[in-house]
């Protein structure tokens, strides 16, 4: 899932302080699971904002959509946003942008910082696992991502900074390449990393689109 963290309250407060009616929009998918921007977090944030702006008379409305990354759900707000001066989104960066695209005349502000694609280690505890680089090498690396888990994103590690079994950046951070070695060694598959991995294709730095097989014609028709 996409993991996010709520922004510091003062930052949120300063974004909305010049408006009279603010709609806080939650998202019921990833950010709800990671306790950053679901309906419960919308409620909590609005309670804090109401308290902070009591004297200023700012009104805060609340709506939580199933997904802000889908126009179908954003359409549910079509009849509501006119009553507000600005929108405060608690979705991930994708959802916030899609909300802004749906309502281009309304200022849209982010109430969370989108952190990473990660996993649930425990309630309230998440770890990054994927950088969405678009060139998955997990087959070669025994299911441990060198792009995400190695602080230098090395494709031919481990570097000389391996500190026993941890990364040079911190003793709490395991060395990805140590883990890759252990995993492949245990599976008798070290041959996977005996070969040199060639330079990676980082052309993921331009905005990307995915059209699944079978949907090309439909997309073409929509664009024409």
Partner 1 sequence: MKAGSKLERVLKAGHFAFTGEVGPPRGANVNSIREKLKHLKGNVDMVNVTDNQTAMVRMSSWAASIICIQEGVEPNFQMVCRDRNRIAMQADILGAYAHGIRNMLCLSGDHQMFGDHPQSKGVFDLDSMQLIMMVKKMRDEGKFLSGADIDVKPEIFIGAAANPFAEPFEWRVHRLAKKVAAGADFIQTQCVYNMPKIREWIRQANDMGLTEKVYILPGVTPMKSIGMAKYMQSKVPGMDVPDEIIKRLQGVDKKKVADEGIKIACEQIAEFKETKGIAGVHLMPIEWEHMVPEIAERAGVLPRPEV
Give the residues lining the site for partner 1 (CB under 8 A). 151-165, 168-169, 175, 178, 181-182, 185, 190, 194, 196-200, 202
In terms of CB distance, is 83 or 156 closer to partner 1? 156
Torsion of Cα atoms, 49 then 52 then 55 then 61, to 10°: 0
Whose Cβ is closer to partner 1: residue 120's or residue 156's? 156
Bridge partners, 15 (sequence order): none
- In 7-142, which ranges are continuous DSSP H helix? 9-16, 30-33, 39-52, 71-74, 93-102
CB of 208 to partner 1, least distance (A): 18
Taking the complex as a whole, the smallest distance from the CB of residue 217 to partner 1 amounts, in Å, to 35
Angle, CA of 127, 128 and 130, to the nearest 5°:
145
Compute the distance between CA of residue 163 and CA of residue 157 in angstroms, rounded to an integer. 13
Q: Helix, strand or coil for residue 180?
A: helix
Mapped onto helix, strand or coil, the DSSP state of residue 204 is helix
| Residue 148 C-beta: closest distance to partner 1, Å | 13
Q: Between 110 and 158, whose beta carbon lies closer to partner 1?
A: 158
What angle separates helix 9-16 from helix 39-52, to the nearest 10 degrees? 70
Least CB distance to partner 1 at residue 69 (A): 26
- Overall residue count recorded for the chain in this entry: 224
The CB-of-12 to partner 1 minimum distance in angstroms stands at: 23
Q: Which of 79, 133, 118 is nearest to 1 (CA)?
A: 118
Q: Which is nearer to partner 1, 55 or 195 (CB)?
A: 195
Q: Which is nearer to partner 1, 55 or 164 (CB)?
A: 164
Q: 169 or 211: whose CB is closer to partner 1?
A: 169
Residue with tokens 């802004």: 100
Cβ 200 to partner 1 shortest distance, Å: 8
């Amino acid at each position: 899932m996409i993991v996010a963290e709520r922004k510091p309250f003062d930052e949120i407060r300063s974004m909305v302080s010049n408006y009279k009616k603010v709609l806080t929009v939650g998202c019921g998918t990833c950010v709800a699971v990671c306790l950053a921007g679901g309906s419960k977090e919308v409620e909590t944030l609005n309670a804090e904002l109401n308290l902070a702006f009591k004297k200023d008379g700012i009104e805060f409305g609340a709506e939580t959509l199933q997904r802000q990354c889908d126009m179908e759900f954003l359409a549910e707000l079509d009849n509501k946003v006119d009553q507000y001066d600005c929108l405060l989104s608690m979705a991930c960066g994708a959802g916030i942008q899609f909300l802004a695209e749906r309502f281009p005349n309304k200022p849209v502000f982010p109430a969370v910082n989108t952190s990473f694609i990660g996993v649930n280690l425990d309630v309230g505890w998440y770890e990054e696992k994927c950088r969405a680089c678009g060139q998955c090498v997990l087959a070669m690396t025994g299911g441990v991502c060198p792009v995400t888990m190695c602080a230098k994103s090395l494709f031919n590690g481990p570097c000389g900074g391996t500190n026993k079994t941890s990364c040079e950046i911190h003793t709490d951070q395991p060395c990805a390449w140590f883990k890759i070695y252990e995993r492949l060694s245990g599976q008798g598959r070290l041959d996977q990393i005996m070969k040199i991995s060639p330079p990676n294709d980082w052309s993921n730095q331009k905005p990307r689109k995915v059209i699944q097989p079978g949907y090309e014609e439909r997309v073409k028709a929509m664009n024409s």
